Amino acid sequence: MNDSGGNREKKQARRPSTERTAQRDPERTRAAILEAATREFAENGMGGARVDAIAERAGTNKRMLYHYFGDKEQLYLKVLEEAYVGIRTAERALHIGDRSPEEGIGELALFTWRYFLQHPEFLSLLGTENLHRARWLRQSIRLKELHSHLIGELSQVLEQGKKQGVFIETADPLHVYLTIASLGYFYLSNQYTLSTIFGRDLIEPAHLNAWERHIVHVTLASIKR
């Protein structure tokens, strides 16, 4: 008598299921889903991203995804929040207020540019959310708190520079950050079209280094006396 079917069932019964694995290590499962979702949303946007693809990338199933994050939209919002938490947390570690005003602003400019280079998925998520006019971002209270800290610390550095006679009185923290972020974001998000139009490979190390210096120079020049 052929008992291959029964043996196969026994093997499957002994094999731990995806759900049991997730229950034993929920934090690991959540992290895997979040990482997979970040890649999927960065590559395909909110509309093109598929829950099936996220679950497959994470090595889990859709039931676990819905269990931990609710639905696709809630997962997307969580991805956005974590992306911003990443950059804002790293910014805090700079302690720009502990440096001279010029060094603090220069360090923030360098950090932002290099972070953009190292995290292209962050720029992709920004592009996607802007296409949707920040529909999901507006729902997050957590992000507003994160950004208020950034502006607060930047304001302190600028005020110190004004007192020392280094920065102009009209230097505005939001304008300073927009200068830094826009110089980095535009360059990288349009690198392919700009490289093609102007016949220069903007992603070559020499060009990247030159633009890094340019960002620092322009930012400081815009606020120095």
Q: State in Å, rounded, how far the first CA of the chain is from the last one.
A: 93
Residue 15: which pLDDT band, with cuts at 50, 70 and 90? very low
- 19 with 64: CB under 8 angstroms? yes
Radius of gyration from C-alpha coordinates of the chain = 23
Higher-pLDDT residue of 133, 15:
133
CATH fit for domain 73-222, picks 3.40.1800.10, 1.10.260.40, 1.10.10.10, 1.10.357.10: 1.10.357.10
Q: What is the pLDDT of residues 167-189, one digit of tens each?
A: 999 999 999 999 999 999 999 99
Q: For residue 17, what is the DSSP state?
A: P
Nearest to 20 by CA among 61, 57, 56, 58: 61
pLDDT at 145: 77
Would you state the structure tokens that stand for residue 114, as one six-digit string?
A: 């290099």
- 63 with 19: CB under 8 angstroms? yes
Nearest to 72 by CA among 87, 59, 54: 54
Average pLDDT of span 21-34: 82
- List residues bridging with 224 in a β-sheet: 167
25-70, CATH topology level: Arc Repressor Mutant, subunit A (1.10.10)
* Block residue for tokens 């004004």: 162
Q: What is the pLDDT of residues 94-146, one digit of tens each?
A: 999 999 999 999 999 999 999 999 999 999 999 999 999 999 999 888 887 77
Residue 12: which pLDDT band, with cuts at 50, 70 and 90? very low
Domain ranges within the chain, ordered by starting residue: 25-70, 73-222
- List residues bridging with 167 in a β-sheet: 224
Average pLDDT of span 70-83: 94
CB atoms within 10 A of CB 49: 20
For the stretch 216-225, what's the b/e string if a residue is b when 16 or more beta carbons lie within 10 angstroms of its beta carbon?
A: beebbeebee
Q: What distance in Å separates the CA atoms of residue 65 and residue 162, rounded to the nearest whole number?
A: 50
CA distances from 215 to 124, 177, 185, 193 (A): 21, 11, 11, 20
| Coil/strand/helix, residue 167 | strand
pLDDT at 23: 56
Residue 193: which pLDDT band, with cuts at 50, 70 and 90? very high
How large a percentage of the chain has pLDDT more than 70?
89
Q: What distance in Å separates the CA atoms of residue 83 and residue 222, rounded to the nearest whole number?
A: 29
**Is the pLDDT reported for residue 9 higher than 50?**
no
pLDDT at 142: 81
Q: What is the mean pLDDT of the chain?
A: 90
pLDDT at 141: 82
Q: Taking the C-alpha atoms of 194, 198, 204 and 206 in order, what is their torsion angle to the nearest 10 degrees?
A: -120
Domain 25-70 identical in fold to domain 73-222: no
CB-based burial label for 141 (10 Å; 0-12, 13-18, 19+): exposed
1-15, 28-42, 56-70, 140-154: lowest mean pLDDT where? Answer: 1-15
